[in-house]
Structure 1
Amino acid sequence: MIKTYDEALSFIHGRTQFKKIPTLTRMKRFLAELGNPQEGLKYIHVTGTNGKGSTVAMMRSALLESGLTVGSFTSPFITRFNERIEYNGIPISDDDLLRLVQKIAPFVKKLDDTLETGGPTEFEIDTALMFCYMAEKKPDVVLLEVGIGGLYDSTNVITPVVSVITTVGWDHMKYLGNTLTKIASQKAGIIKKGVPVVLGALPIEARETILADAKEKKSPVFELGKDFTVHKLNGHQFHAKIRYQGKNLKKIETILGLPGDYQIENAAVALMAVELFMEKHELAIDRRALIAGLENAAWPGRLEEINTTPLVLLDGAHNLPGIQALVHTIKNDFVDREVYLLVAILADKQYELMLGELASLGNIHLTVTHFAGPGPKRPSADLAKAVADIPTKYPIQIINDWRLGIGQVASQMSADDVMIITGSLYFVSDVRKFFLN
């Protein structure tokens, strides 16, 4: 019997994470046992290699400013599990989480006992908890972020009002395939018949795969750079000022609350999706509300400022495309400053390529470190070996204890320098707790 919040979390995290054969059959059966709580709600469904969380954060802020009630489901969490399931930007309470885990646990046991492949995975339970919570709260819209891929993701049991694909790049190849075409076909799995889809900037082969899928499903496509555009107006600034041109919205100008140039495209994708949702439900669009929403949007661990002098930033770039976006920001916004990087990366990522991207910059002082990782099956990479052959302007430091690493790196910096702690959202989560406690 699950009696406490901690026992509820142990129940969730104690489940297997993946099954050998991907399928939605188990998830649909699970939800049917629960009375199909996912039905009767309006969704914006979001997938992509990177940018999902930031896009959801900006949509949430813009929709809340517009007077709507908003549910959201995101992953991973940064500080506490409850952050994954939010209503109007407020995480689910410990009491509600415990109550809902107690509600679904008997059904999990039933499926464990009756299904040949066993009952629900950890993420399927997370998703079911969210659907049950949203069924109680009944928000005007639920922003639903995919866990991995799309086609077989446990969130892919709904028909949304709008589908969103932010980016397609190299990540989770073990599960999604080893070509961009294969990865894109998994992401395209969230496109539903006749439902409009918003696309961010995509590589050519990924774009062709997704456009072909949308055409087959007769889904209208809204592409960044073609059907809606965005431009940066303020040069080398950490917080970009943008001009957005959309379907009905023209010349929306705002300064983004989320820093970094990689948020420019995410903001445009968010606005386009909001436009389509509001239009579908014949809701008046308040330009000032959307502008305020983008200005006020916050998302922990995405170039998040945790110290001002010197500037210390946490950035959850955790794969090659994420690191490339961070490199772009450093080149644009910190080109005239010395940047000290403290980096830890999970062993199942392309860490050699990620380190190579960071080391290519002339104003970088690179320190690699180690952290516990989210579990024994996903350890932190041994970056000391990886950096042995990487050429850099400054020698690469190796400090195994990241807490000591922060202190040592800080002691080398002047007030005008920048420290960026990056490489993994799990690592950033640990560091964030350390700084904010």
Structure 2
Amino acid sequence: MNYNEAIEYIHSSYKFGIKLGLENIKTLLNLLGNPQDSLKYVHIAGTNGKGSTAAYITQILMEAGYNVGTYTSPYLLRFTERIKFNNIEIEEETLAELTEKVREKVEAMAGMGLNHPTEFEIVTAIGFLYFALKKCDIVVLEVGLGGRFDSTNVINCPLVSVITSISLDHTRHLGETLAKIAYEKAGIIKEKGDVSIYPLEDEALRVVKQVCLEKNARLVSFGKNDVKVKSEGIFGQEFDFGRFKDLKITLPGEHQPYNAALAVQTVDLLREKGLKISDEAIINGLLKTKWPGRMEVVSRNPAVIIDGAHNPDAALKLTQSLSKYFPGKKIIFIMGVMKDKNYMEMIRAAAPIARCFIAVATLDESRSLPAEELAACIKQYCNNVLIGDTIKGAVDTALNLADQNDVICAFGSLYYIGEVKSLLEN
């Protein structure tokens, strides 16, 4: 099996859909010799901010000299971004070899009359095999969907369970209220474990506290007032948190100082468990952290920003940040969304600062909302709406509309903004 065949095989499992539950992944990992049991973890659930929090924690641990595996989803440009060792993507050849191993066991499961694993279960198994192969000191493991029944939740007690911001998303699978969604995320909390959380809304916080109580888990939290932002801009921010003064990050976005503070709080729990992590490693780790596709400036004059915001909360945070960094500017938005998302609320969040919208379909045809349908929805909030026949067409249209001082922002789904980035960087 070569790399392209491996990717084709992995994606062909998409037809088996999303099945929340741990039986399948447990069986598959058992057949593979349970590679996950040889590793230590920081396990991260939440609606938004999982990826950037994982990136901060990974970089800090690397600065401290640890060998770190990182598992995230989805990817921006290359599938291999999802599985990394010390921030270097899994080699294509290794991915192909491990996929072949997993496929053999999937076929064995079929022979036993068992369910076919989903795409995410297969990728998770490949990740565990790779991290065991690389003998990672610690794995920063991001949940795919929810937490309680997510395939990453097969692990035993992690060093720390981390919960990032919680808002409404994936309501069909996780529930219609913040409390229900929080309960699913809190499913990663283990008996007598340590839990590090982002400042949550009361409805979500009550649920997380209750689960911690039931599991005899220790909860560590901070308030938004504990983070003092001193300067902010599209190319970086500076803030105080706890014993740290003038912490610097390069990631823009109003929420990023809080994600960085969550990473610091989590790393302090790891220090309590005996990991040798200096304050210097924390300071340097935060500063060096990169996380593409999140308020990322991919071109200048005009400024072109890509952001993976794919739910109302993320769209609102994006809009607030754009208003702050470009006061008084009306934005040229390129927007593409999956049809199962709450795109009406996303449009409503962005419309007040929009000069116009260019609607596109994302690259995933089976799940994408057609551009014509999206444009019709946008017209309820904004009169100036165009349709991009292709992603390249949408980018060209936006560039033709813009002068040097304008701002273009592509958002709505990570599944197409990577293509925008490629087009502009090439």
Range class of TM-score, shorter chain? over 0.9
- Post-superposition Cα deviations, 1:157-210, rounded to whole Å, max 9, x if no partner, equal 112100011011111111111111111110010000111111112222111111
CA distance in 2, matches of 1:51, 1:211: 20
The question of 1:266 aligning with 2:259 is answered yes
User: Which ranges of structure 2 fall in alignment gaps of 5 or more residues?
Assistant: none
The question of 1:137 aligning with 2:134 is answered yes
Q: Is the 8 A contact 2:11 2:119 kept in 1?
A: yes
The question of 1:387 aligning with 2:378 is answered yes
- Match for residue 360 of structure 1? 352
Q: 2:125 aligns with which of 119, 123, 128?
A: 128
How has the CA–CA distance of structure 1 residues 16 and 397 changed in structure 2, closer, same or farther, with 3 Å as cutoff?
A: closer
CA distance in 2, matches of 1:232, 1:198: 21
Q: 2:246 aligns with which of 250, 253, 257?
A: 253
The question of 1:412 aligning with 2:405 is answered no
SS of the residue aligned with 1:29?
helix
SS of the residue aligned with 1:38?
helix
Q: CA RMSD in A?
A: 1.9
SS of the residue aligned with 2:34?
coil
Q: Is the 8 A contact 1:337 1:416 kept in 2?
A: no
Q: In structure 1, what residue type is equivalent to 2:366?
A: P
Write out aligned runs for 1:256-295 (5 A): 256-280=249-273, 282-295=274-287
CA distance in 2, matches of 1:84, 1:152: 20
CA distance in 2, matches of 1:335, 1:236: 11
Which shifted more, 306-315 or 83-92?
A: 306-315
The question of 1:146 aligning with 2:143 is answered yes
Write out aligned runs for 1:25-424 (5 A): 25-116=23-114, 118-158=115-155, 159-225=157-223, 229-234=226-231, 238-245=235-242, 250-280=243-273, 282-361=274-353, 364-380=354-370, 382-390=373-381, 392=382, 395-424=384-413
For residue 22 of structure 1, report the CA deviation from its aligned partner: 2.9
CA distance in 2, matches of 1:95, 1:153: 27
CA distance in 1, matches of 2:56, 2:32: 31
SS of the residue aligned with 2:153?
coil
Which shifted more, 203-212 or 371-380?
A: 371-380
Q: Is the 8 A contact 1:231 1:242 kept in 2?
A: yes
How has the CA–CA distance of structure 1 residues 278 and 107 changed in structure 2, closer, same or farther, with 3 Å as cutoff?
A: same
- Post-superposition Cα deviations, 1:299-326, rounded to whole Å, max 9, x if no partner, equal 1111111112221111111111110110
Which shifted more, 23-32 or 410-419?
A: 410-419
How has the CA–CA distance of structure 1 residues 97 and 399 changed in structure 2, closer, same or farther, with 3 Å as cutoff?
A: closer
Q: In structure 2, what residue type is equivalent to 1:411?
A: N
TM-score, normalized by length of structure 1? 0.92
User: Which ranges of structure 1 fall in alignment gaps of 5 or more residues?
Assistant: none
- Post-superposition Cα deviations, 1:388-422, rounded to whole Å, max 9, x if no partner, equal 221x4x73334343322222222232322221111
For residue 339 of structure 1, report the CA deviation from its aligned partner: 2.4
CA distance in 2, matches of 1:19, 1:411: 40
CA distance in 2, matches of 1:150, 1:294: 26
TM-score, normalized by length of structure 2? 0.95
Q: Is the 8 A contact 2:83 2:89 kept in 1?
A: yes
For residue 98 of structure 1, report the CA deviation from its aligned partner: 0.9
Q: In structure 2, what residue type is equivalent to 1:374?
A: D
